[in-house]
Structure 1
Amino acid sequence: MSAPEIQYELHGSFESDAEEAEFRPLSSDSYFTLKDVTIGVDFHWQRKENQSFLGKLKLKKSGDLTLALNIVPVEDYLTSVISSEMSADASLELLKAHAVISRSWVLAQICHKASASGHVDMLDTPEERVKWYDHDDHVDFDVCADDHCQRYQGITRASRAQVRSAILSTWGEVLMHGDELCDARFSKCCGGAFEEFQYCWEPRRHDYLVAARDAVDGAPLPDLTVEANAREWILGRPDAFCSDVDESILAQVLNNYDRETVDFYRWIVDYDVDELSEIVRERSGIDFGEIRDLVPLARGTSGRIYRLKIVGSKRTMIVGKELEIRKWLSRSHLYSSAFMVERTLHGFRLHGAGWGHGVGLCQIGAAVMGERGFNYRQILSHYFKDAEIRSIY
């Protein structure tokens, strides 16, 4: 977390290094608590809570703010991530699958950061703004603790013995494609189809993150980059692992604040013209005047829009990629950029599909697979095509 002033409490025995502003625990049960940590930044569930952590606490100045950094072993970090991203009551096979992808992802970020040659250029002109958000945004630490990276809420979320069992039984296991650690992404609900990496982040294709249906019945996936196909897909309700999920499965996957969302496989948002015009002005910092049209220009393999033309009475501009579109069209974030635009008498109705970027593992779909008897290796092979599970330590 970062704030002008950090409030914290130390519990148990610590030694401090005043020069480094670092507090090191002297026993395995020592922990620290940070006050008023913001979670779900800019999303509809944003709130503050106190959070407690194992490992070292380091305070670092960054401009006018102070950063609170937690230095922690990877496997302890993963125990928290799994309990923070999902309910600790999730099935063991889902927890194992998540342990492998979360381990793969964080190690891939560290390796990528060490070898990165710099940011890929993004586009920002009067006519078009194309932007994405990824791990390279972080300078002072490896990964953040919120949805931008992986939710990491320390020991605040209860972790049962089954969570630790999932970590121990997959200890050191990662997803590999050839000699490369997989950039193993995940989202809450893919909406029935997988998105490909390059439509959400830098223009680089990963062969293990490919278009497919969230099903194993052999049904083909329509080409959702075609507008007519995307419309039919989003306005319909095709069968998928993540399509019809009962409350007991959702309770395994989602924390209590995540379940404030009623339906994320298919959803509808209504705006009148004045409301949407004001939201776009506030969120983009650009005065479009009265919003007159929203025109999808390019969609990815799940039907998610990655180039959208916004037509206003004062200005017309193209925005991308998916998260920037979701940001501009909501006071928090739209659930996803897989939506169809319907003009109504007073404004716009957005018919949408899925929750999140849709790349890699679909958490709700994977939960259903676990309930239906698929093991974690089968779950991973479904979402990460031709990837191999290997033990690296």
Structure 2
Amino acid sequence: MGTSGEKENKTREPLIHVGILQNQNRINFSLLSTYKLQGKKFSKGDYFVEIDNGQISFNGERYDQLTFEADQLHKDSFEIKDVIIGVQFHWERKENQQFLGGLKFITTGVGENKSITVINIVSLEDYLKSVISSEMSSTSSEELLKAHSIISRSWLLAQIIKNKSINKEKKVYQTSIETPTEIIRWYDREDHEDFDVCADDHCQRYQGITRQTTELVDRVVNETWGKVISYKGSICDARYSKCCGGIMETFENVWEPIVHPYLQGKPDNYSGIPLPDLCIEEEAEEWIRSSPDAFCNTQNTNVLKQVLNDYDQETADFYRWTKTYSQEELSALIYERTGIDFGEIVDLQPLERGTSGRIIKLKIIGTEKVLVIGKELEIRRALSKSHLYSSAFVVDASEENDEGIPQMFVLTGAGWGHGVGLCQIGAAMMADKGYKYKEILLHYFPGSNIKTEY
């Protein structure tokens, strides 16, 4: 049993608002416990809400917003039907998901475009139990789960602090730079004004208690309760991705131009081999076309099962991968994804690369249009029906026609995701090799310290 001081600390655990589902005209849900709405009890059962003349219609009444309050925050639960997971990713699908805590419905948009957003009001630690089970398998190794619980908690608290700062300063949070010849965008806090964090890969995967299946998850979160990583006293903006591809990327190459000393490029190994300068095109090409040693360079199925859920395991070629497009496919894809008619694609030219070889700026040269796009996620979105695995790739164009225009393009790439911070597959391999969670955190967030925030 914990001390009275420990109990007091746990009472300071924050409540957070998680956006589960957005832009819906009707939402079906089930209350799995008794809830209260404006003091009136609603028993277990199936219900629905729908948009009606710009308001939320429920049980014959209309509301601007409504909140089902839980009597027992850590026990009462509900189920939302047809939650979209993997939004715009190659494995996007719907599933029914169950959540602990309170349930809130709000309207967003204006006029005829009003729709409903679902928000889960949940304790931060209950949220974390789901995140580390949703981001990876709840049967992962203890050291990996401890490391992930600490960085997930850190990231969320850092985002809440950042959001409060932005709102307090009343500044427009800029996420793009556009000129007639260049479109540079990054994706971070947009579309999150109505809640603290979303439930999908854009933030952290949070799939409720649907995947929270083991006592180990409960124990790991309880043992790391309130712990975060910090740098010079401030909570770290602790980013992570599936696979860095061998070298970690630098924060400012992916998001806003702010330097975080604990989120810099470094090799995902302890070999001591000098780090190649992947900002140089020749170095990057040699690196991407090879398969250098790294923690994340593995086909160990037992380890991969810890990090990759069932739908993630549909992706086998994450460390090094290829994607082939015909001229017709590529030009149609880029037009569909960007809304810009480049005509036939003549070339894809990397103009700037980051520390991991990820392209920061890519020049698309077409017969009708030439434009530079970035940063990495904008590039990935333009070159795939969902998201290209990463922007660390080289291009081989071939089969030129009589006008000298290539008819085939092969993209050879490295890694899965943005590559900043903790590499989930690399961290899983470190845990498998016997590294402790503190060593894993120090490897991926150099210079950071673990502290207890509450």
Q: Normalized against structure 1, the TM-score is what?
A: 0.98
Could you say which residue in structure 1 is the equivalent of 2:444? 383
Distance 1:150 1:376 in 2: 20
Could you say which residue in structure 2 is the equivalent of 1:93? 143
Greater mean alpha carbon deviation, residues 52-61 or residues 3-12: 3-12
Distance 1:238 1:154 in 2: 37
Distance 1:260 1:114 in 2: 38
Alignment of 1:5 onto 2:55: no
Could you say which residue in structure 1 is the equivalent of 2:55? none
Instruction: Name the count of aligned residue pairs.
Output: 393
Alignment of 1:309 onto 2:363: yes
Could you say which residue in structure 1 is the equivalent of 2:75? 29
Question: Matches of residues 139-288 of structure 1 in structure 2 within 5 Å?
Answer: 139-288=193-342
- Greater Cα radius of gyration, structure 1 or 2: 2
* Secondary structure, counterpart of 1:218 in structure 2: coil
Question: Matches of residues 124-135 of structure 1 in structure 2 within 5 Å?
Answer: 124-135=178-189
* Secondary structure, counterpart of 2:419 in structure 1: coil
Gaps of 5+ in 1: none
| Structure 1 residue 61 displacement after superposition | 0.3
Could you say which residue in structure 2 is the equivalent of 1:319? 373
Greater mean alpha carbon deviation, residues 173-182 or residues 115-124: 115-124
Alignment of 1:60 onto 2:115: no
Greater mean alpha carbon deviation, residues 371-380 or residues 10-19: 10-19
Distance 1:283 1:230 in 2: 26
| Structure 1 residue 183 displacement after superposition | 0.3
2:157 maps to amino acid: L
Per-residue deviation, residues 150-184 of structure 1 (Å, max 9, x unmatched): 00000111331111111011111101000211000
Distance 1:279 1:136 in 2: 25
Distance 1:285 1:154 in 2: 35
Distance 2:440 2:172 in 1: 34
Query: Is the CA contact (8 Å cut-off) linking 1:200 and 1:322 kept in structure 2?
Result: yes
Distance 2:409 2:444 in 1: 34
Distance 1:189 1:20 in 2: 40
* Secondary structure, counterpart of 2:133 in structure 1: helix
| Structure 1 residue 136 displacement after superposition | 4.2
| Structure 1 residue ranges, 4+ long, deviating more than 4 angstroms after superposition | none
Could you say which residue in structure 1 is the equivalent of 2:348? 294
User: 2:435 pairs with 374, 379, 387, which one?
Assistant: 374
Query: Is the CA contact (8 Å cut-off) linking 2:75 and 2:101 kept in structure 1?
Result: no
| Structure 1 residue 135 displacement after superposition | 2.2
* Secondary structure, counterpart of 2:352 in structure 1: strand
Distance 2:244 2:319 in 1: 8
Distance 2:157 2:218 in 1: 19
Distance 1:121 1:217 in 2: 37
Query: Is the CA contact (8 Å cut-off) linking 1:79 and 1:159 kept in structure 2?
Result: no
State the superposition RMSD in angstroms. Answer: 1.1
Could you say which residue in structure 2 is the equivalent of 1:339? 393
Query: Is the CA contact (8 Å cut-off) linking 1:131 and 1:321 kept in structure 2?
Result: yes
1:140 maps to amino acid: D
Could you say which residue in structure 1 is the equivalent of 2:35? 14
Query: Is the CA contact (8 Å cut-off) linking 2:242 and 2:417 kept in structure 1?
Result: yes
Query: Is the CA contact (8 Å cut-off) linking 1:245 and 1:368 kept in structure 2?
Result: no
Could you say which residue in structure 1 is the equivalent of 2:120? 70
Q: Normalized against structure 2, the TM-score is what?
A: 0.85
Distance 1:240 1:121 in 2: 32
Greater mean alpha carbon deviation, residues 14-23 or residues 225-234: 14-23
Per-residue deviation, residues 222-266 of structure 1 (Å, max 9, x unmatched): 010000000000000000000123111111111000000011000
Gaps of 5+ in 2: 1-20, 39-62, 400-406
- Give the direction of change, closer, same or farther, for the CA distance of 1:49–1:134 in structure 2 (3 Å limit): same
Query: Is the CA contact (8 Å cut-off) linking 2:175 and 2:185 kept in structure 1?
Result: no
Per-residue deviation, residues 304-329 of structure 1 (Å, max 9, x unmatched): 00100000010000000000000000
Higher relative contact order (CA closer than 8 Å, sequence separation 6+)? 1
Return the structure number with greater strand share.
2
Distance 1:12 1:144 in 2: 24
Alignment of 1:111 onto 2:161: yes
* Secondary structure, counterpart of 1:72 in structure 2: strand
Distance 1:342 1:167 in 2: 47
* Secondary structure, counterpart of 1:323 in structure 2: helix
Could you say which residue in structure 2 is the equivalent of 1:45? 91
* Secondary structure, counterpart of 2:197 in structure 1: coil
Distance 1:221 1:101 in 2: 26
